[in-house]
Amino acid sequence: MNNFTAICIRITSFIIYLLTALLLLSCANPLNRATYERNMEQGYRAEKDGDWGVAEIAFYRAAENVRFGNLGDQKESEALFNLGRTKRIVGKVDESVDLLERCLELDEKLYGHDHEMIGYTIAELAASYFEKHNFEKGIPLLIRLEAMADKYSGRPRAFIKQLFNKYSAELTKPGMDSEAKRFQDKAIV
């Protein structure tokens, strides 16, 4: 075998190896899924224990694992939602808004504009806008949420009612009485 043929074989072997490695990296990996699920579970446990710092780290790791592991839009949405919600709770509201806006885009792509799943994200994003005192962006979200608020029960329903109450109280200050009354009525139902 001459030198040229040997070089061609080596280059071809290297290219095949490289393409195989890229193909494997682009696929959803069971190890990535297991790591994602472990991080999500750790985040939920920390949240239950009230350890929001640990929850934030765990949900961040889960979100990064989804991103690098190509686990799909549904897992990415779940990770962004939990991380965004946690960021709001720990007071990192700007980060929360960015994450929840990305989550809302994914949710709309996955479920449509009025599916029950999307209401959770809308409520959290409206809460983040409330924390930022950006009521102009929060009010349209509450109007969207108004149509689906009756679908929820338990803690989500209580959170949504509290959100309507907060917006209602805030809107009476600048004299937006009709919107305030509208949200107050929804909070009572």
The model's pLDDT over 6-37, given as tens digits with 9 standing for 90+, comes to 776 777 776 776 555 554 555 556 678 889 99
Question: Mind giving me the DSSP string for the chain?
Answer: --HHHHHHHHHHHHHHHHHHHHHHHHSPPHHHHHHHHHHHHHHHHHHHTT-HHHHHHHHHHHHHHHHHHT--HHHHHHHHHHHHHHHHHTT-HHHHHHHHHHHHHHHHHHH-SS-HHHHHHHHHHHHHHHHTT-HHHHHHHHHHHHHHGGG--HHHHHHHHHHHHHHHHHHHTTT-HHHHHHHHHHHH-
The pTM score is 0.79
What was the pLDDT predicted at 187?
A: 63
What was the pLDDT predicted at 55?
A: 96
What was the pLDDT predicted at 47?
A: 94
Return the domain boundaries, the chain: 88-189
Task: Pick one of 1.10.1060.10, 1.25.40.10, 1.10.1040.20, 1.10.10.60 as the CATH number of 88-189.
Answer: 1.25.40.10
Mean pLDDT by 10-residue block, N- to C-terminus, for the chain (189 residues)?
Answer: 71 68 54 89 96 96 89 94 97 97 96 89 97 93 89 91 88 69 66
What was the pLDDT predicted at 12?
A: 74
What was the pLDDT predicted at 99?
A: 97
